[in-house]
Amino acid sequence: MMSDLNRRWYDEVKDLTERLVRINSVSPSVERENACAAAIQQALEERGVAASEWRMRADERKIVWALVEGGAVPAEAERVPTVILLGHLDVAGVQDYGSSLDPFDPVALRAHWLDQYRADPATSDERLLDAASGEWMFGRGSFDMKSGVAAQIAVMGALQREKASLPGNVLMISTPDEEVESAGLMDALDPLVKLRDERKLDLVGVINADYTAPRHPGDETRAIYRGTIGKLLCCFYVRGCETHVGEAFRGLDANLIAANLVRATNLNPALCDEADGEITVPPVTQKVRDLKARYDAQTPLSAVVHCSRLIHAWTPKDLLAQMTEAAREALDDAQQQRQAAWRAYARRHSTSEKLDGLSGQVFTYQELHNAAAAKLGLEVLSEELERRTFSTLTRTREALDALPLSEREFLLDRARLTDLDSRERSLAAVRTLVDIGLREGVIDSRRPAVVAYFAAPFFPPVRAVPDAGLSRAIDAEVATGAYGWTSAPGSGPAVNSAPRPGVWPLELRSFYPYVSELSFMRVDDPVYESLPLLRANFPLWREEGQETSANLWREGFGVPFETIRKLDCDVANIGPWGKEAHGCGERVHMPYSFETVSELTYNVILRLLADRAVGQAVQEPINLEENP
């Protein structure tokens, strides 16, 4: 356990974390997320920090922001150096807790796991051992990421008390909807640019406080990340050739083609993206299902596959090429499987009859859209696509919105009304386009086909910039050896390599590996250059500033890249460390997350602001009282 001499932040952050965890802020929900936003505002104001809010455009969820304005900014500065502290206030769903556990009661949850430990003290169950140690707080959001927000609140309070000596500003932003599509941060970008321009702020860096975790069993290493991984949902609409189940060889089952796609992509190490000495985990399948609505004797005509791709350096162009190659292989393999099965079947029937081939067709969404537009004209195609795609969705949404929250959630959870999900809305657009393509002769209805397309969410990768001011400030602070023994990958001997109580292995890494909202604070050139292809293959893409229908604006998805380019911030993630994010054993390691993260964040801020004030990285520890 920690000594009293090493608890500058611990008790305050522990109290704040527990207060926030006790608030159910499962996203999306205006009521729940706004309750957490109000608690964050109250906690800031208790510390003398004036808290304000922006609102999401779609549903009035609150985006909390607060600014500590330093009183020691150099008089000659044209703009005020400003560090952004970024976090999200929403949490993932809680179905995994079942009906017997309260996911928002940290005390009761620890007691539950502690009782299980006492019943079996010899257990090797890590969750029970952690409960017994007394160093862990349990509960949904304890780890992802209310402890990070709590640390930021405490740091803001400390900086507010010392603002007269602060050579710059610190801006804290807490967003809703991160666990869904990050619409909260998207809606914060325009007001952030406006605030920057009105207050003449120089945004020198963004420190996110999202969770960090062991990368393998037994891993005790804590990590600071100076960039973030990207994520893109790669989707395949599969159309087979239907047949009666009694004439199985006459057609080609869409599920067989989909299964081949899963086998080609799921956990395939050849599809890992490697850059800057780090490698992504391989792709995983997030949805596979056929689209047959009810039972009959016909084989499924169509299916859909969603594959989550994590990226470091690959662009949407690279992924689309891999997708179309996988689709062709899946179709070829299905045809070969069908022919091989027929040959074995024919031998048993003592027949030499040959089976006709069913060669497949592969389209990108853009290719299919362009071919249909060539037949109908772009304006006519666009009108039909929108009318047929959105009319049913709009009526369904209006009917659900008229219901009480409890009834609406029951229907969404139990009645599979998934057409409100943006992935399902994308699928609806693709199915409509395929139907038009069949009608206009672009797709041969007698042959199987696969359409490759993208769907939300899209998190662009942001690569580390080692010589940026924020990275230099982190390097200088970590080099003091106060936080752990560390070395960056490939950087040579570790600093302070002898273990001590209260410190842990600490590593500087390039890519935050779990997806974060840092993706929307800077856009790297390769991503920006690939945007035309991304937009053309993203059925629901909604361009910022684009004049569009109310349907597309409400139902669509977009990333405001032009606004992000105006921000162009250096980024880093200094966040809590814990285990089982989004699981019923979610828990945060309190000594590191409450004390070390807060102290490290506080000192990196001071170094970065001092760096901008004097024009070079500050190598000595900073003390505001000694720097009036």
Give CA–CA dist 343/341, Å, rounded: 6
Q: How confident is the model at residue 616 (pLDDT cuts 50, 70, 90)?
A: very low
Give the pLDDT confidence score for residue 415 in this predicted structure: 57
CA–CA separation, 306 and 309 (whole Å): 10
CA distances from residue 442 to 236, 294, 369, 371 in whole angstroms, order as listed: 18, 28, 10, 7
Taking 80 as the threshold, does the pLDDT of residue 486 lie above it? no
Conformation bin of residue 552: beta by default, left when phi > 0, alpha when psi is -120 to 50: alpha
**Does the global pTM surpass 0.75?**
yes
Is it the case that residue 5 has pLDDT exceeding 60? Answer: no
Please give the order of strands across the beta sheet that includes 578-579: 136-138, 587-589, 578-579
Containing 438, the helix (H) or strand (E) segment is helix 422-439
Topology of domain 230-459, per CATH? Alpha-Beta Plaits (3.30.70)
Confidence of residue 622 (pLDDT cuts 50, 70, 90): low
CA dihedral 504, 509, 511, 515 (to 10 degrees): 10
Alpha helices in 504-583 (DSSP H): 525-529, 531-536, 550-555, 561-567
- Tens of pLDDT along 321-351? 999 999 999 999 999 999 999 899 888 988 8
**Does the N-terminal peptide bond of residue 404 adopt cis geometry, omega within 30 degrees of 0?**
no
**First vs last C-alpha separation in the chain:** 35
With a CB cutoff of 8 Å and minimum separation 6, the contacts of 188 are 54, 63, 65, 173, 175
Over residues 376-418, the pLDDT tens digits come to: 999 999 999 988 888 777 777 788 888 888 887 777 666 555 5
Binned at pLDDT 50, 70 and 90, residue 546 comes out as low
Q: 4-228+461-530+564-618 has which CATH code?
A: 3.40.630.10
As a whole number of angstroms, the distance between CA 608 and CA 601 comes to 11
Q: Cα–Cα distance between 529 and 88 in angstroms, integer?
A: 29
Q: If pLDDT is split at 50, 70 and 90, which confidence band does 617 have?
A: very low
The tokens 């949805």 sit on which residue? 287
pLDDT of residue 477: 94
Separation CA 127–CA 115 (nearest Å): 12
pLDDT-derived band at 152, boundaries 50, 70, 90: very high
Is the pLDDT at 561 greater than 90? The verdict is: yes
- Hey, which bits of 486-586 come out as E strands? 506-509, 571-573, 578-579
Average pLDDT, the chain: 90
The domains of the chain are located at 4-228+461-530+564-618, 230-459
Torsional class of 156: left (φ above 0), alpha (ψ -120 to 50), beta (otherwise): alpha
**Predicted local confidence at residue 567, as pLDDT:** 94
Model confidence pLDDT, tens digit, residues 440-459: 999 999 999 999 999 998 99
- Does the pLDDT of residue 582 top 60, yes or no? yes
Residue 482 — pLDDT band, cuts 50, 70, 90? confident
Stretch 415-439: mean pLDDT: 84
Residue 24 reports pLDDT greater than 80: yes
pLDDT at 397: 74
CA dihedral for 342, 343, 344, 348, sign (positive or negative) = positive
Q: Which two tokens stand for residue 423?
A: 């992935």
Average pLDDT (138-162) is 97
CA atoms 331, 332, 337, 339: torsion sign: positive
Tokens of 497: 């390599």
Nearest to 592 by CA among 496, 483, 512, 477: 483
Tokens 């932003």 — which residue?
173
In sequence order, what E strands does 125-195 have? 136-138, 169-175
Non-local CB neighbours of 443 within 8 Å, separated by 6+ positions: 239, 361, 363, 368, 434, 437, 449
Q: What pLDDT shows up at residue 4?
A: 45
Q: Which tens digits make up the pLDDT trace of 213-252?
A: 998 888 999 999 999 999 999 999 999 998 888 888 888 9
